[in-house]
Amino acid sequence: MQYRTLGRTGVQVSTLALGAMNFGAIGRTGQEEATAIVDAALEAGINVIDTADMYGAGESEQLVGKAIAGRRDDLVLATKATMPMGEERNHRGSSRRWLVTELDNSLDRLGVDHVDLYQIHRWDPATSDEETLSALTDLQRAGKIRYFGSSTFPAYRIVQAQWAAREHHLTRYVTEQPSYSILQRGIESHVLPVTEEYGMGVLAWSPLASGWLSGAIRAGREISTSRSAILPERFDLGIGANQARMAAVEQLAEVAEEAGLTLIQLALGFVTAHPGVTSAIIGPRTLDHLHSQVAAAEIVLSADVLDAIDAIVAPGTDLAPGEKFDTPPALLDPALRRR
């Protein structure tokens, strides 16, 4: 396993991080297998576990908490808040009122007295940066969180939050968690230059592009993954973006084979090759998934392989731009740009 410094925090983290979104109802991974996955991940040298309150409505945090019992100090524990937790209108967002309450809920589910990294899951346009950063700074000073970061923020919001922290003398976000893979490279043109400028750690999620780069999705085969059942439109080959992805996957599989790598190793090696990326978050549902992904921990792609990838998917290109999560709200809701 390789290790890097998380931004400018001085904390050493593994280049592969264990994502726990599939623990519980989402991935149908129960406590026994979740604990086995955590055991194997720690044995392999992974020292970061990332979860969120909304994964299984808190179930993931509960499973993680039981799996790490007795060894909490051996790992960097990260969770997130902001996404809706039920129907109550104020049980979501980035207000002080909700973050203070929900962090306590997360700590209770995890069975710990603090988390190492608390992340704002999505930018909340209804809440000012000052409000959110002030609450997070106070929670940090109270010892409930060590650091805090953002997740899937547009580049301009990352810049704005850094400015707000300086302007109001508050602690700043030290990490960003964006979606990044060979098939979704848009952050190379805007987010990664900004995070590098501010010395932020980057924990990249979906490095296997929701399973497209797992090796299980190939031309001529029936697409059957846990993601295809939840989000069928992402795998419908009648859609142009998915046709483009399939064509790219076939070419990438050839590159991987010629390099003596699995497609998973190629995909994870690509993400961790970027100098602005600290860790790639893997999200195994089973022990077999974990072992196939941990096999990429020591992979260093050659310049020839990276050039071949660039020839298939150009730098800064998203093959499925409609799936981006950092699009400004005014581009999604006509009312916000026409009123």
How would residue 327 be classed by pLDDT, with cut points 50, 70 and 90? confident
- For the beta carbon of residue 163, count every other beta carbon within 10 angstroms: 12
The closest of 124, 114, 98 to 147, measured between CA atoms, is: 114
Q: Please say whether the beta carbons of 161 and 191 come within 8 A.
A: no
Check residue 80 and give its pLDDT. Answer: 98
Task: Calculate the CA 257 to chain-centre distance.
Answer: 27
- For the beta carbon of residue 316, count every other beta carbon within 10 angstroms: 12
Domains delineated in the chain: 3-332 (3.20.20.100)
* Tokens representing residue 277 in the block: 């990326």
- Asked whether the CA dihedral 109, 111, 117, 118 is positive or negative, the reply is positive
Task: List Cα–Cα distances, 45 to 13, 21, 38, 162, 295, in angstroms.
Answer: 10, 20, 11, 32, 12
Check residue 238 and give its pLDDT. Answer: 87
Task: List Cα–Cα distances, 44 to 39, 161, 191, 215, in angstroms.
Answer: 9, 36, 30, 22
Is the confidence at residue 222, as pLDDT, over 80? no
Amino acid at 126: A
Q: Tell me the pTM.
A: 0.94
Q: Please say whether the beta carbons of 118 and 173 come within 8 A.
A: no
How would residue 62 be classed by pLDDT, with cut points 50, 70 and 90? very high
How would residue 324 be classed by pLDDT, with cut points 50, 70 and 90? confident
Residue with tokens 């710990």: 112
Is the confidence at residue 43, as pLDDT, over 90? yes
Which of 55, 118, 147, 173 is an active site residue? 55
| Angle subtended at Cα 149 by Cα 146 and Cα 155, rounded to the nearest 5 degrees | 160
Per residue in 167-211, pLDDT (tens digit) is 999 999 999 999 999 999 999 999 999 999 999 999 999 999 999
* Tokens representing residue 11 in the block: 């904390």
**For 298-306, what is the mean pLDDT?**
96
How would residue 228 be classed by pLDDT, with cut points 50, 70 and 90? low
Active site residue 3: no
- For the beta carbon of residue 10, count every other beta carbon within 10 angstroms: 7
Check residue 335 and give its pLDDT. Answer: 85
**For 25-53, what is the mean pLDDT?**
96
